[in-house]
Amino acid sequence: MKQLLILSGKGGTGKTTVSSAFIELSKGHAFADCDVDAPNLHLVVSQMSDPIKTDYFGFGKAMIDDSKCIHCSLCEENCRFGAIQDGAVGIYECEGCGVCLEICPVQAITMSDYSSGSLMLYKNNGKVFSTAQLKMGSGASGKLVAAVKKQLVNETTDAELAIIDGSPGIGCPVIASISGVDMVLIVAEPTISGMHDMKRIIDTAKHFGVSCAVCINKFDVNPDNTKEIENYCTGLAIPVIGKIPFDETVIKAVNRCQSIACYPDSPAGKAIASIWINLYQNYLGGGAR
Amino acid sequence: MKIAVLSGKGGTGKTFVSVNLACAAGKSAYVDCDVEEPNGHLFLKHDITDRLPVSVTVPQIDANKCTGCRKCVDFCKYNALALIKNELLIFYEVCHSCGGCILFCPEKAFTEKEREIGTIEEGISGEVAVLTGCLNTGEVSGVPIIKGLMEKLPEQGTVVIDCPPGSACVVMESIREADFCVLVAEPTLFGVHNLAMVYDLVKLFNKPFGVVLNKCLPEENPAEQFCVDHKIKVLAKIPFNEELGKLNSRGLIAVRENRQYQELFQRLLNTLEKEAVS
């Protein structure tokens, strides 16, 4: 199964809009949302049955047994995260490293399981959709993303392509989502922020040796910047595989829990459909249809 | 007053609101905590006064002392160490800098070294003091940079903290010092869904907060409905218009370009000051 990952660097450029349209257009059987700390794809993929939800245990959290503690403060002095104060562990600071357990002379500290989010699996009509929701303020987002992808691969039997919606940024969830994918499609936006962030996500994808392509969303908002994006990509031999115009139908579709692909005659719907065909036939090894 | 600006969803206008708030306030500070994709500097175009590297402490091994006992490999919860053909490998990208391997090696074969993961830049743009963090590409965690920024927050005056998207640890670190949180929401179902998440986050951390409705269209606004349903104070409504979109796409600051926006953000500041003391 090939894996296509949609990224952008900057948030709000249209990752989920593009992903959900591709899922609809490809009649895809395998898809995932790796934006675990602000997932939205489940809101716009066509009706699926209720998900199977499992608690996800990331790193544990240290627990101090007051009855055993001799207040030697060795744990406090050796915790690099400043997570132990006055004999109490701060659950948001503790990263579950286990130094305190090992250093405690009276074995007063244990590691307790800590659910850092929920893993969700939707499965029906031969479709598999893997997603998750990170618990507020949690730090194990990269591990949860890896679990989302593992779940997708384990549960899928016969899909030729997996479509994966990514998260903004360039840090741990993004890096975890890049691992093992065949191609990254970057949704760029012709604003000064969108361009800056596109360059950083291209660097990140290159750092991990994944090939990428770019599509430009709301390209008509600033034609000069669009031209600059095209020139930049050409310079790096990164294909720009299509441009999507600004179209209020996108907002309407989202607010009706629909993909823009459900509006095939809209300007944005048309553009995304042609991007999909280009991507599928020329970059993902799909035959002419 | 320290104001954190956050949103859950990306692209709702956190940087737009943050930069404009700081500029409307006159003498103030703008702090960019979205260290993975910092954008405030594209608008403020500050003169850089200082540039500091941010490093984390990581282990390095003395291969002559290592006996291959695997104690460190077994200890490390992050799989940052591996023993392959009797050679100890360290994967710095996943190291959390807990220091366990250094502490517990029976041969004392580790020493510490500093590894640069990004930078903090200080500068000035008009009357606005700028602090901006930037994570190097390929690095996993911006948390140490955000912690570095938090240590440098000015104590006095208006401080605007531009937060990363999402609701994970990086957002929590960014709002830690805030006196008031501004949640920026856009009028889409995605916007509402992610507003609900940061709403839970600020409640969890007991921060006073209010919502700025951005990109408002004449049609029904699901984000506004969410505020009504949950009795959340709407601090300001910013219309969707082409002028703002164009200014933003070119990296221009609305309050510096147009009096009308100076007044809008000045009103927002006044509201914030009232809300923060109440």
Beta partners for A33? A165
Pairwise CA distance, residues A110 & A104, whole Å: 10
Q: Show the tokens assigned to B181.
A: 């949180």
Write down the mean pLDDT value for chain A.
94
Contact of B74 with B94, CB cutoff 8 Å: no
Joined together, the tokens standing for residue B34 give 């979205």
- Closest residue of chain A to B204, computed from CA coordinates: A136
If 0-12 CB within 10 Å is exposed, 13-18 middle and 19+ buried, where does residue A286 land?
middle
ipTM of the complex: 0.91
Task: Say what percent of chain A tops pLDDT 90.
Answer: 87
Nearest to B182 by CA among B213, B151, B204, B158: B213
Of the pLDDT bands very low, low, confident and very high (cuts 50, 70, 90), residue A288 is very low
Cα–Cα distance between A135 and A144 in angstroms, integer? 10
- Mapping DSSP to helix (H, G, I), strand (E, B) and coil, where does residue B114 land? strand
Q: Do B141 and A171 touch (CB under 8 A)?
A: yes
Q: How high is the pLDDT of residue A138?
A: 83
B97: chain A residues, CB-CB within 8 Å = 80
Mutate which: B189, B203, B224, B252, vs A, most A CBs within 10 A: B189
Strand segments, DSSP code E, in B62-109 are 81-84, 87-90
Distance CA B102, CA B109 (A): 8
CATH of B63-108, one of 3.30.565.10, 1.25.40.10, 3.30.70.20, 1.20.140.10: 3.30.70.20
Tokens standing for residue B176: 């830690």
State the best of B7, B98, B114, B215 to mutate against chain A, taking most chain A CBs within 10 Å. B98
Quick check: B165 and A11 CB within 8 A? Answer: yes
Q: Which residue of A has its CA nearest to B10?
A: A11
- A176: CB partners within 8 A, 6+ apart: A34, A141, A142, A143, A145, A146, A149
Residue A139: pLDDT over 90: no
Query: Measured between beta carbons, which residues in chain B are less than 8 angstroms from residue A12?
Result: 9-12, 186
Least confident of A39-48, A110-119, A159-168: A39-48
| Token pair of B213 as six digits | 């409705």
Written as tens digits, the pLDDT of chain B (278 aa) is 999 999 999 999 999 999 999 999 999 999 999 999 999 999 999 999 999 999 999 999 999 999 999 999 999 999 999 999 889 999 998 899 999 999 999 999 999 999 999 999 999 999 999 999 999 999 999 999 999 999 999 999 999 999 999 988 899 999 999 999 999 999 999 999 999 999 999 999 999 999 999 999 888 899 999 999 999 999 999 999 889 999 999 999 999 999 999 999 999 999 999 988 76
Q: Please, are residues B188 and A255 in contact by the beta-carbon 8 Å criterion?
A: yes
* Domain spans, chain B: 2-54+117-277, 63-108
Task: Give CA–CA dist B102/B81, Å, rounded.
Answer: 12
Rounded CA Rg of chain B: 22
Are the beta carbons of B14 and B161 closer than 8 angstroms? no
d(CA B249, CA B76): 45
Q: Which CATH number fits domain B2-54+117-277: 3.40.50.300, 3.30.360.10, 3.40.50.2300, 3.30.70.1560?
A: 3.40.50.300
Q: Do B37 and A197 touch (CB under 8 A)?
A: yes
Tell which of A170, A178, A226 to mutate to test the B interface (max B CBs under 10 Å): A170
- Check A136 against B167: CB less than 8 A apart: yes
Lowest mean pLDDT among A207-221, A274-288, B151-165, B173-187: A274-288
Q: Residues near A18 by Cβ (< 8 Å), separated by ≥ 6?
A: A6, A185, A187, A215, A217, A244, A272, A275
Q: How confident is the model at residue A126 (pLDDT cuts 50, 70, 90)?
A: confident
Nearest-CB residue to A12 (from B9, B99, B222): B9
Distance in angstroms (rounded) separating the CA atoms of residues A52 and A71: 44
Question: Cβ separation of A43 and B11 shorter than 8 Å?
Answer: no
pLDDT tens digit string along A29-77?
999 999 998 999 999 987 678 899 999 998 999 999 999 999 999 999 9
Domains parsed from chain A with CATH numbers: 2-32+158-282 (3.40.50.300), 59-113 (3.30.70.20)
Contacts of A203 in chain B (CB under 8 A): 137-138
Q: Are B14 and B34 in contact (CB under 8 A)?
A: yes
Contact A11 B171 (CB under 8 A): no
Q: Which residues of A touch B141 (CB under 8 A)?
A: 171-172
Chain A: residue whose CA lies nearest to B171: A137
Tell me the CA distances in angstroms from A130 to A31, A48, A142, B161, one per residue in order: 6, 12, 15, 34
Residue in A35, A95, A171 closest to B36 by CB:
A171
Q: Is the dihedral of CA A273, A275, A278, A284 positive or negative?
A: negative
Q: Tell me which of A8, A16, A97 to substitute to probe the interface with B (most B C-beta atoms closer than 10 Å).
A: A97
- The confidence score (pLDDT) of residue A287 equals 59
Asked if A111 and A61 count as a contact pair (C-beta separation under 8 A), the reply is: yes
d(CA B248, nearest CA chain A) in Å: 7
Give residue A289's pLDDT band: very low, low, confident or very high (50, 70, 90).
Answer: very low
Q: Mapping DSSP to helix (H, G, I), strand (E, B) and coil, where does residue A187 land?
A: strand
- Please tell me which of the candidates A10, A12, A80 has its beta carbon nearest to residue B97: A80
Contact criterion met (CB below 8 Å) for A132 and A144: yes
Question: Which residue shows structure tokens 């320290």?
Answer: B2
User: For residue A191, how many other CB atoms are within 10 A of its CB?
Assistant: 24
Q: How distant is the Cα of A287 from the closest Cα of chain B, in angstroms?
A: 34
Check CB contact under 8 Å for B189 and A257.
yes
Q: How many residues does chain B have?
A: 278
Checking B260-269 for CB contacts under 8 A at 24+ apart, the result is B261/B20, B262/B24, B264/B236, B264/B238, B265/B20, B265/B21, B265/B23, B265/B24, B266/B24, B267/B236, B268/B21, B268/B24, B268/B212, B268/B235, B268/B236, B269/B21, B269/B24, B269/B25, B269/B158
Alpha-carbon distances of A174 from A3, A10, A146, A209, A275, rounded to whole Å: 15, 12, 10, 14, 23
